[in-house]
């Protein structure tokens, strides 16, 4: 079964509103979680690294004020898309690993489809 859970799996929102996506590690604690975005027929692009108890680290070109990340516990990270616009419509995926070592297996959530109308 899934070890990383995302919710909601699909959400439609109106332009200008905010949407929150949750990512939970079910069987392990994760001090770090990662958020990706995937456009149709494109690869996964890392948006940010979510660090428990501290600020997230954003990749170049990703607006930190638009994509708010909160990693309040060792099993939960949230991504909030603020003032969403149609161009934010995409597939958002989180991932986590049971450890920090380079050889640890990386698990992905089921993904969240966001459609902004």
Partner 1 sequence: QKEVEQDPGPLSVPEGAIVSLNCTYSNSAFQYFMWYRQYSRKGPELLMYTYSSGNKEDGRFTAQVDKSSKYISLFIRDSQPSDSATYLCAMKPYGGSQGNLIFGKGTKLSVKP
28 or 108: CB nearest partner 1: 108
Q: Measured from the CB of residue 27, what is the shortest distance to partner 1 in angstroms? A: 14
Number of residues that make up the chain = 117
> Is-contact 19 81, C-beta < 8 A?
yes
Q: Which is nearer to partner 1, 84 or 112 (CB)?
A: 112
| H or E segment to which residue 80 belongs | strand 76-81
Work out how close the CB of 83 gets to partner 1 at its nearest, in angstroms, rounded to a whole number. Answer: 25
Residues that bind partner 1 (CB under 8 A): 4, 6, 32, 34, 41-44, 46, 49, 57, 91, 93, 95-97, 100, 102-103, 105-111, 113
Nearest to 92 by CA among 25, 46, 57, 28: 46
């Amino acid at each position: 079964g899934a070890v990383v859970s995302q919710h909601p799996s699909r959400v439609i929102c109106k332009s200008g509103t905010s949407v929150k996506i949750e990512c939970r590690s079910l069987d392990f604690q994760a001090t770090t979680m990662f958020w990706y975005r995937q456009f149709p027929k494109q690869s996964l692009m890392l948006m940010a690294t979510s660090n428990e108890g501290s600020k997230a680290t954003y990749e170049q070109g990703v607006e930190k004020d638009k994509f708010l990340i909160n990693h309040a516990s060792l099993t939960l990270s949230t991504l909030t898309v603020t003032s969403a616009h149609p161009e934010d419509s995409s597939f958002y995926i989180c991932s986590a690993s049971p450890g920090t070592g380079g050889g640890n297996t990386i698990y992905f959530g089921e993904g969240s489809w966001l459609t902004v109308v």
